[in-house]
């Protein structure tokens, strides 16, 4: 993104490329990055930004006005106008059709695809879907096929995934254009009929953002059986400023906001499930396999979790144990184990792993992430969630750690490290294995330990302690003796390690006490060999910037 802004700035200044130009480009790029991260719609827009063309369009819209539109629907409108008209002008492509004329055809195509609940369509299908609407346009293209190829080649709103198989450049454009078509053709009933279908949720939100939402909200409220999916589709009514009848607005507020304090268990559970689902849908992407929540778990959400765990067999339960009036407050827990239990519960509820070769895990932020994302140290036992995708081989380790089963986690760490190093038959790790251990795997293992213990355990924690005492790769008896005292590995004598059963397998252990692998199983004879392995590990951590 920084590179795009720099090149655009240079072009706009007739090739000038001094420090002032570079500074202006950096400022513009940083403003957009911050805007995407801070936006209520950041998740949806960030998903669009993965596509290079769409990222360029987002940046183009931002650069023109130095801001992004306040509503996501307005951003889509701007981008469609750029792609369907202004892009052609910039390329000096003669275009007899206006952006509105072309969009009218694409709206019909988008709505047909939404009704069929598909993204892809063959060229022949596309021609049949748009033919009637296409015939209303002034004669300019040789036919519908020519039009589709124009939208693909010159506009970029359609892409050809494989020969004669097309789809919109991003699903959000299909959803947006369908919403506009429903508005233009007065077919709101389509959305009402699909109010409980999650496929239509984004189209419902985009439609409601610029139209009176009274009928949609009323349809949700009057459902015979309350549906989390349906209420979730309209849960952003306040943030997005939806227009609706005042009586209907009070009814939805009573369900979703006041409901978090309700004495009616059905209303309370619905309100909390919607709030939790909304939270999980709003994580901010901070890496390819990493997302972070932008707020803390509330008292009501934690109460719901506790009821789900403790009262699964009870249909009628004492569901609300917190003081009325505190349901929307941040929950502050007594221990890190309680926070980890919530993370483990969320992990077991998440079904996204079924559609991926990676496993979805929820965890707490590491101390480094706390600093990076301005999470106050005063809220250590408040829950700010991180969601990550892990290779399947780490699922058992993550589960042990989230449960606080430290000894099993230590044993599993050793097992998985042998697997990564391909030394299962050898049964131990030597210096060469440590020196060549993959950085990404080492980072995953360390992050799981650090997050599960809230910075108390982990290889990186041990590294910092060891180096703070003057530890280097070379053996130093004084340093090693001090390190053993600090992390609680030192027994009565240093002739060998503590017996495995004598380690402290809980959070009352000294900082850095775990994990104990890959040391204690590596060599049985001479404790200096342990030092060599451990010091090699600290060096590898440094090499990997961990």
Question: pLDDT (tens digit, 9 = 90+) per residue, 27-51?
Answer: 666 666 666 655 444 556 666 666 6
Say if 152 falls within a structural domain. Answer: no
pLDDT in tens, 324-380: 888 899 998 888 888 888 998 999 888 765 556 788 999 988 888 888 887 776 666
Span 70-97, mean pLDDT?
Answer: 77
Q: Which of 78-92, 165-179, 442-456 is least confident?
A: 78-92
Question: What is the structure's pLDDT at 178?
Answer: 97
Closest CA to 447 of 503, 387, 375: 387
Q: Is the pLDDT confidence value at 213 over 90?
A: yes
Q: Which residue has the higher pLDDT, 494 or 303?
A: 303
Q: Is the pLDDT confidence value at 301 over 90?
A: yes
Same structural domain, 465 and 415: no
- Domain termination site, one of 38, 68, 98: 68
Question: What is the structure's pLDDT at 373?
Answer: 81
Same structural domain, 420 and 470: no
Same structural domain, 409 and 474: no
Say if 505 falls within a structural domain. Answer: yes
Same structural domain, 341 and 412: yes
Same structural domain, 474 and 533: yes
Say if 531 falls within a structural domain. Answer: yes
- Domain termination site, one of 428, 447, 470: 428
Q: Is the pLDDT confidence value at 316 over 80?
A: no
Question: What is the structure's pLDDT at 56?
Answer: 73
Tell whether omega for the bond before 134 is within 30 degrees of 0, i.e. cis: no
Question: What is the structure's pLDDT at 439?
Answer: 95
Span 106-130, mean pLDDT?
Answer: 96
Say if 37 falls within a structural domain. Answer: yes
Span 81-97, mean pLDDT?
Answer: 73
Say if 315 falls within a structural domain. Answer: no
Going by pLDDT thresholds of 50, 70 and 90, the confidence category of residue 67 is low
Same structural domain, 417 and 472: no
* 221 class by beta-carbon count within 10 Å (0-12 exposed, 13-18 middle, 19+ buried): middle
The total number of structural domains in the chain stands at 3
Question: What is the structure's pLDDT at 520?
Answer: 47
Q: Which residue has the higher pLDDT, 211 or 522?
A: 211
Q: Is the pLDDT confidence value at 524 over 50?
A: no
Domain range for 408? 336-428
CATH of residue 511's domain is 1.10.10
Question: What is the structure's pLDDT at 522?
Answer: 42
Q: Is the pLDDT confidence value at 521 over 50?
A: no
Same structural domain, 395 and 463: no
Same structural domain, 418 and 481: no
Report the share of the chain in percent with pLDDT over 90: 43
Helix, strand, or coil (residue 16): coil
Closest CA to 406 of 373, 452, 466, 445: 452
pLDDT in tens, 409-450: 999 999 999 999 998 888 888 889 999 999 999 999 999 999
Question: What is the structure's pLDDT at 310?
Answer: 66
Residues 378, 381: Cα–Cα separation, whole Å: 8
Going by pLDDT thresholds of 50, 70 and 90, the confidence category of residue 288 is confident
Say if 125 falls within a structural domain. Answer: no
- Domain termination site, one of 68, 84, 109: 68
Q: Which residues contact 354 (CB under 8 A, 6 or more apart)?
A: none
Say if 519 falls within a structural domain. Answer: yes
Going by pLDDT thresholds of 50, 70 and 90, the confidence category of residue 519 is low
Same structural domain, 344 and 384: yes
Q: Is the pLDDT confidence value at 525 over 50?
A: no
Report the share of the chain in percent with pLDDT over 70: 79
Going by pLDDT thresholds of 50, 70 and 90, the confidence category of residue 234 is very high
Q: Which of 154-163, 213-222, 303-312, 494-503 is least confident?
A: 494-503
Q: What is the DSSP letter of 97?
A: S
Q: Are 57 and 83 in contact (CB under 8 A)?
A: yes
Same structural domain, 344 and 419: yes
The tokens describing 264, both together, are 């009616």
Closest CA to 479 of 489, 468, 488: 468
**Would the pTM of this model clear 0.75, i.e. be above it?**
yes
Same structural domain, 423 and 494: no
Sheet holding 165-168, edge to edge: 121-122, 165-168, 158-162
Q: Is the pLDDT confidence value at 239 over 90?
A: no
Say if 95 falls within a structural domain. Answer: no
Residues in the chain: 546
Same structural domain, 344 and 422: yes
| Mean pLDDT for the chain overall | 83
Q: Which residues contact 3 (CB under 8 A, 6 or more apart)?
A: none
């Amino acid at each position: 993104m920084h590179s795009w802004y720099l090149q655009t700035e240079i072009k706009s200044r007739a090739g000038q490329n001094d420090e002032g130009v570079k500074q202006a480009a950096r400022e513009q790029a940083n403003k957009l990055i911050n805007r995407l991260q801070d936006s209520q719609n950041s998740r949806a827009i960030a998903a669009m930004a993965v596509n290079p063309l769409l990222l360029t369009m987002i940046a183009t819209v931002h650069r023109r006005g130095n801001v992004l539109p306040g509503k996501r629907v307005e951003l889509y409108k701007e981008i469609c106008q750029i792609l369907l008209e202004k892009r052609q002008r910039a390329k000096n492509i003669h275009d007899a059709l206006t952006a509105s004329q072309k969009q009218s055809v694409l709206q019909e195509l988008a709505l047909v695809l939404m009704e069929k609940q598909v993204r892809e369509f063959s060229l022949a299908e596309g021609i049949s879907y748009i033919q009637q609407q296409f015939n209303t346009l002034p004669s300019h293209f040789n036919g519908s096929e020519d039009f589709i190829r124009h939208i693909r080649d010159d506009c970029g709103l359609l892409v050809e995934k494989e020969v004669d198989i097309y789809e919109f450049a991003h699903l959000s454009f299909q959803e947006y254009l369908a919403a506009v078509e429903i508005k233009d053709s007065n077919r709101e009933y389509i959305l009402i009929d699909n109010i409980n279908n999650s496929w239509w949720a984004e189209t419902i939100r985009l439609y409601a953002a610029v139209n009176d939402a009274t009928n949609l909200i009323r349809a949700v409220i009057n459902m015979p059986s309350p549906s989390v999916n349906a209420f979730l589709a309209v849960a952003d009514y306040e943030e997005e400023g939806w227009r609706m009848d005042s009586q209907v607005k009070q009814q939805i507020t009573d369900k979703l906001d006041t409901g978090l304090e309700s004495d009616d268990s059905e209303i309370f559970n619905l309100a909390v499930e919607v709030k939790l689902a909304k939270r999980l849908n709003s994580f901010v992407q901070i890496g390819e396999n990493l997302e972070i929540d932008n707020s803390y778990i509330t008292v009501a959400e934690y109460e719901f979790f506790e009821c789900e765990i403790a009262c699964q067999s009870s249909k009628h339960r004492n569901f609300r144990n917190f003081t009325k009036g505190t349901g929307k407050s941040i929950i502050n827990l007594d221990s890190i184990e309680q926070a980890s239990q919530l993370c483990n519960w969320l992990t077991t509820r998440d079904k996204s792993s079924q559609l991926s070769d990676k496993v979805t895990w929820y965890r707490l932020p590491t101390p480094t992430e706390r600093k990076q994302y301005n999470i106050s140290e005063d809220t250590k036992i408040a829950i700010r969630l991180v969601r990550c995708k892990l290779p399947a081989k780490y699922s058992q380790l993550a589960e042990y750690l989230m449960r606080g089963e430290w000894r099993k986690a230590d044993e599993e760490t050793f097992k998985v490290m042998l697997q990564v190093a391909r030394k299962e038959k050898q049964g131990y790790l030597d210096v060469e294995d440590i020196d060549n251990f993959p950085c990404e795997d080492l980072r995953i293992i360390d992050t799981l330990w650090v997050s599960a213990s809230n910075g108390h355990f982990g290889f990186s924690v041990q590294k910092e302690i060891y180096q703070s005492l003057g530890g280097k790769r070379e053996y130093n008896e004084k340093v090693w003796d001090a390190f053993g005292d600090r992390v609680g590995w030192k027994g009565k004598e240093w002739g060998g390690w503590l017996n495995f059963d004598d380690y402290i397998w809980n959070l009352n252990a000294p900082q850095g006490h775990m994990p104990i692998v890959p040391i204690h199983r590596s060599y049985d004879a001479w404790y200096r060999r342990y030092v060599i392995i451990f010091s090699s590990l600290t060096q590898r951590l440094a090499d990997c910037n961990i």
